[in-house]
């Protein structure tokens, strides 16, 4: 693993003094482009008052007027969502907001296998037959030119609330013929921030709708929580408006969960007293919502969050919890099988496995992308043809690169880092060849690397420092959890823990005689290599047997800083990301 060590920013000490923070926090802020007190204050101040003006979004006011008219006329409104966490949250936000106003509102969440992503003609006709007068799409619709045209021909008004890229032909965007197209990624957008997810957009929309019709918005805390969950789960940049939504949601998840379905799900997922942050949302709450959409129907997740019946809520929360456990088993088995087929001489991995459940293709693509540091497409056998999902790496715009070969697909959509598509089986080899021949990246560009922000003497590691750094949370895209490093750290003890005795726990001695604990998930082989390099291979077997090794060994370490709680006591912990023999080249 390559270490990219950032130089200490020139104004670190001045920025620290001006803002009353440590040089370590100051350096992290400067590394993110916040170079003066004004921009730092804007980043740290996450009041909802700092959200950008929603009326700068194209067609925003037009969409409000259409919805207001439908509400006045008591028309039947259908919300057409999506089966991932962002789509579910968007559907819930709109449904809860409109139902509370007494609207005749219904929802349709497509089935991942039977319907596929986005609008489809059969669903549009079914919704029309149910008496729909206004069709509102959320987390989809921007690429559904034919389906929106069909809805219009059937006499329905249509509003699109989406955050995906519009279709472009001959460098000209092609928007669907909807009555209002609300999407910050429109090429003619006047909104200053284009990276909001659908959940965030729907929250902004429904909140402004209440103002538009002069109604008090008593659902604010409940619905901003859903918007923040969507924001973290959809892996959009956690800056600007997204940071505000996510930060507010995390506060409410820890102090004031208003929705009974969400409360029930969190109770099943988290131990009492757990502090919920971006990790718990991204790796516990989000996957549980996604799992039901992968293995059954995402509409069951929507029902959890709109139900007021205690028995229903208990059953739905249990279903989501169990389906996520089932999803983990399915994913693990398929990933092991597909990984064996990887040809790592290819800069773009296009992997076909007919036995993989199409619902976990994106998860597996993401895991393989992380392991091999390459753009990865995983393709499975669908009911009609093949379906696939892709996950990308920095520097490779997957949407643009696949768009160049749009003729190979029967269905295609996505954004810079992720895509979904359908294609005939006979086009898989053509796609693999085309993408690899056109790939702008070289194999040498794809070595796994980490970005290290600041060298910290272990003497400075403390609970106070970690708490100070927490003001930068939540972490995610464009605001990654900062990685630090220490050269020549002194290891005083090593032991392997876990059921399989394969998780290293290391203790480091600082010069002040204090001991700093650490954990190194997935690092057993690295520790064994380190011992072998230092002529201490005879200690490996005792470690594997669960013994603690007392040692005096110097190493260079890269890590994140965390607080661990044991027997009610908090202490600082290093989460090791990589370790090198002291003095090894980076």
pLDDT for position 83: 94
Instruction: Please give the Cα distance from 323 to 85 (Å, whole number).
Output: 14
Same domain, 202 and 351: no
Question: Is 252 a member of any domain?
Answer: yes
CATH number at residue 264: 3.90.1640.30
522: domain CATH number is 2.40.50.140
> Is 482 among the domain residues?
yes
Q: Residues 341, 259: one domain? A: no
Does residue 157 share a domain with residue 73?
yes
Q: Please check whether residues 483 and 439 belong to one and the same domain.
A: no
How many domains does the chain divide into?
3
Instruction: Report the CATH number at residue 355.
Output: 3.10.310.30
Greatest alpha-carbon span in the chain: 81
Judge whether 223 and 201 are in contact, CB under 8 Å: no
pLDDT band at 386 (very low <50, low <70, confident <90, very high): very high
The answer to whether residue 206 is domain-embedded is yes
State the residue for tokens 């702008």: 440
Spatial separation of the C-alpha atoms in residues 58 and 242, rounded to whole Å: 19
pLDDT (mean) for 33-60: 93
Residues 114 and 214 reside in one and the same domain: yes
Between the CA of residue 335 and those of 65, 353, 359, 368, what are the distances in Å? 48, 10, 13, 8
Q: Per-residue pLDDT for 240 more than 50?
A: yes
Residue 341 lies in a domain: yes
pLDDT higher than 70, residue 18: yes
User: Band of the pLDDT at 431, cuts 50, 70, 90?
Assistant: very high
Q: What is the per-residue pLDDT across 130-176, written as a single tens digit (0 to 9) for each?
A: 999 999 999 999 999 999 999 999 999 999 999 998 988 888 999 99
pLDDT in tens, 202-232: 999 999 999 999 999 999 999 999 999 999 9
Domain contains 48: no
Across the chain, mean pLDDT equals: 93
pLDDT digits (tens, 9 = 90+) for 508-532: 998 877 899 999 999 999 999 999 8
* Cα–Cα dist 352/291, whole Å: 22
User: Alpha-carbon distance 478 to 236, whole Å?
Assistant: 9
Cα angle 284-42-93, degrees, rounded to a multiple of 5: 40
Q: Tell whether 121 is covered by a domain.
A: yes
Q: How confident is the model at residue 583 (pLDDT cuts 50, 70, 90)?
A: low
Last residue of a domain, one of 412, 446, 480: 446
C-alpha–C-alpha distance, residues 548 and 544, integer Å: 10
| 454/439 same-domain check | no
Q: Are residues 439 and 462 in the same domain?
A: no
What number of other Cβ atoms are within 10 A of residue 173's Cβ? 14
Distance between alpha carbon 446 and the CA centroid of its chain, in Å?
22
pLDDT digits (tens, 9 = 90+) for 271-298: 888 899 999 999 999 999 999 998 999 9
Residues 207 and 305 in one domain: yes
Residue 585 has pLDDT above 60, yes or no: no
Task: Give the span between the Cα atoms of 229 and 247, in whole angstroms.
Answer: 10
Structure pTM?
0.89
- pLDDT the model gives residue 586: 46
Say yes or no: 427 and 465 in one domain: no
User: Looking at the structure, do residues 305 and 243 belong to the same domain, yes or no?
Assistant: yes
* pLDDT tens per residue, range 494-504: 999 988 888 99
483 & 576 share domain: yes
Report how far apart, in Å, the C-alpha atoms of 154 and of each of 79, 103, 138, 214, 347 are. Answer: 17, 22, 20, 32, 46
Mean pLDDT over residues 75-92, rounded?
A: 97
Examine residue 4 and state whether it is found in any structural domain, yes or no.
no
Q: Are residues 180 and 291 in the same domain?
A: yes
From 322, 354, 377, the end of a domain falls on 322
pLDDT reading at 199 higher than 80: yes
How far apart are alpha carbons 290 and 198 in whole angstroms? 15
**Model confidence at 416: pLDDT above 80:** yes
Taking only the tens place, the pLDDT of each residue in 444-493 is 778 888 999 999 999 999 999 999 999 999 999 899 999 999 999 999 99
Tell whether 33 is covered by a domain. no
Please determine, for residue 112, whether its predicted confidence score (pLDDT) is greater than 90. Answer: no
Range of the domain at 262: 54-322
Last residue of a domain, one of 446, 471, 487: 446
pLDDT of res. 584: 57
CA distance 107 to 85: 15
């Amino acid at each position: 693993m390559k270490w990219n060590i950032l130089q200490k920013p020139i104004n670190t000490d001045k920025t620290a003094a001006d803002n009353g923070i440590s040089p370590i926090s100051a350096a992290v802020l400067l590394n993110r482009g916040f170079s003066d007190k004004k921009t730092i204050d804007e980043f740290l101040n996450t009041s909802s008052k700092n959200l950008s003006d929603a009326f700068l979004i194209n067609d925003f006011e037009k969409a409000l007027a259409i919805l207001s008219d439908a509400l006045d006329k008591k028309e039947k409104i259908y919300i057409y969502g999506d089966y991932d966490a962002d789509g579910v949250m968007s559907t819930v936000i709109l449904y809860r907001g409109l139902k509370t106003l007494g609207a005749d509102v219904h929802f349709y969440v497509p089935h991942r296998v039977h319907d596929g992503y986005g609008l489809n003609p059969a669903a549009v006709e079914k919704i029309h037959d149910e008496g729909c007068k206004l069709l509102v799409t959320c987390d989809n619709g921007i690429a559904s030119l034919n389906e929106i045209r069909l809805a219009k021909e059937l006499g329905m008004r249509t509003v699109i609330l989406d955050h995906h890229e519009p279709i472009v032909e001959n460098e000209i965007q092609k928007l669907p013929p909807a009555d209002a197209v609300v999407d910050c990624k429109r090429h003619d957008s006047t909104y200053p921030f284009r990276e909001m997810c659908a959940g965030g957009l729907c929250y902004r929309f429904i909140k402004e709708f209440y103002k538009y019709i002069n109604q008090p918005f008593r659902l604010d805390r409940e619905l901003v929580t859903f918007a923040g969950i969507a924001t973290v789960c959809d892996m959009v940049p956690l800056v600007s408006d997204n940071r505000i939504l996510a930060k507010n949601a995390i506060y409410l998840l820890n102090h004031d969960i208003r929705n009974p379905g969400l409360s029930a799900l969190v109770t099943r997922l988290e131990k009492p007293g757990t502090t919920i942050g971006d990790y718990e949302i991204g790796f516990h709450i989000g996957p549980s919502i996604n799992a039901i959409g992968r293995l059954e129907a995402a509409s069951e997740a929507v029902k959890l969050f709109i139900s007021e019946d205690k028995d229903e809520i208990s059953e739905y929360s249990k279903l989501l919890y169990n389906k996520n456990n089932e999803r983990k088993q399915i994913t693990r088995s398929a990933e092991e099988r597909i990984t064996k087929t990887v040809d790592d001489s290819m800069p773009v991995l296009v992997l076909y496995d007919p036995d993989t459940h199409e619902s976990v293709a994106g998860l597996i693509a993401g895991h393989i992308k992380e392991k091999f540091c390459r753009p990865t497409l995983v393709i499975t056998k669908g009911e009609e043809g093949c379906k696939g999902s892709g996950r990308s790496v920095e520097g490779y715009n997957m949407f643009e690169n696949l768009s160049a070969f749009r003729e190979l697909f029967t269905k295609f959509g996505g954004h810079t880092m992720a895509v979904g598509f359908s294609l005939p089986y006979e086009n898989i080899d053509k796609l693999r060849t085309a993408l690899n021949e056109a790939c702008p990246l070289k194999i040498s560009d794809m070595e796994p690397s980490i970005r290290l922000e600041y060298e910290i003497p272990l003497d400075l590691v403390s609970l106070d420092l970690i708490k100070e750094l927490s003001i930068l949370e939540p972490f995610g895209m464009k605001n990654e959890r900062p990685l630090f490093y220490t050269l020549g750290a002194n290891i005083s003890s090593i032991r392997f823990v876990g059921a399989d005795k394969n998780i290293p726990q290391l203790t480091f001695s600082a010069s002040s005689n204090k001991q700093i604990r650490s954990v190194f998930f997935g690092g057993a082989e690295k520790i064994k290599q380190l011992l072998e390099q230092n002529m201490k291979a005879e200690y490996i077997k005792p470690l594997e047997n669960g013994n603690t090794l007392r040692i005096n060994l110097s190493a260079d370490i890269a890590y994140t800083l965390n607080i661990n709680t044991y027997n009610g006591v908090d202490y600082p912990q290093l989460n090791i990301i990589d370790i090198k023999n002291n003095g090894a080249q980076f």
